[in-house]
Chains A and B, each alone.
Chain A
């Protein structure tokens, strides 16, 4: 099992550019989520999904879109990048909707100039 994988590991964007952060898991987990973590801060939930075809907004959804066409994949799209979106982005998954363990990907470090 590869667990939760994320690509790319690092990305630099210019203001206004769009891009998609990829996330995939091979554990057949129902629940997937995207977080951002700013320096010295905790995790803030962007979007999450309780299963294929179902997504919902978290705490800080503005400027981001998600889709969940398959159980395995949960991409995060930045529509028009802004410097305020400079952060580390983590994708996570868990087995079952109330799964006790969240498995995290290695993260994507995004810088928006």
Chain B
């Protein structure tokens, strides 16, 4: 089957850097996406990697290595408002463009 795996929870300190990993077992896909979801809210788009390498958007960066079936989201200069769940997702090429999602990583930030 096709799946994405993420750690269930990560804890970090305010002002620090944290990396959230996503490993996957899928057939061909268009790209790896990352979404943020605060408690009680809807997921919102953060970042997208169509190609291998690093994409940077402000304090957030995302990385993809198709040869290693691996990606990660890097959050720098952590702020308390970054406390949320983070999801990776891929859109499949051979399954009518379905998006499949990881189970999410809850990021806990301590002062």
A residues sitting closer than 8 Å to B (CB atoms) are: 31, 33, 41-45, 48, 50, 56, 58, 90, 92, 97-98, 100-107
Contacts and interface: CB of A to CB of B under 8 A. Distances in A.
Given A58-B98, A102-B43, 16 more contacts: A31-B97, A41-B103, A41-B104, A42-B102, A42-B104, A45-B101, A50-B97, A56-B96, A98-B30, A100-B30, A100-B33, A101-B33, A101-B45, A102-B35, A102-B45, A107-B42
Given A42-B87, A42-B103, A106-B42, A100 B50 contact: yes
Interface residues of B, number: 23
Contacts of A107: 41-42
Nearest to B105: A42
A104 B44 contact: yes
A106 B30 CA distance: 26
Of B41, B87, B89, B91, most buried by chain A (CB within 10 Å of CB) is B91
B24 interface: no
| Prevailing SS type, chain B contact patch | strand
7 contacts: A90-B43, A98-B97, A102-B45, A104-B42, A105-B42, A106-B41, A107-B42
Given A98-B91, A106-B42, A45 B99 contact: yes
A75 B23 CA distance: 33
9 tightest A-B CB contacts, nearest first = A104-B42, A42-B103, A100-B48, A101-B45, A97-B97, A98-B30, A43-B101, A42-B104, A42-B101
Of A43, A44, A101, A106, most buried by chain B (CB within 10 Å of CB) is A43
A43 B43 contact: yes
A50 B96 contact: yes
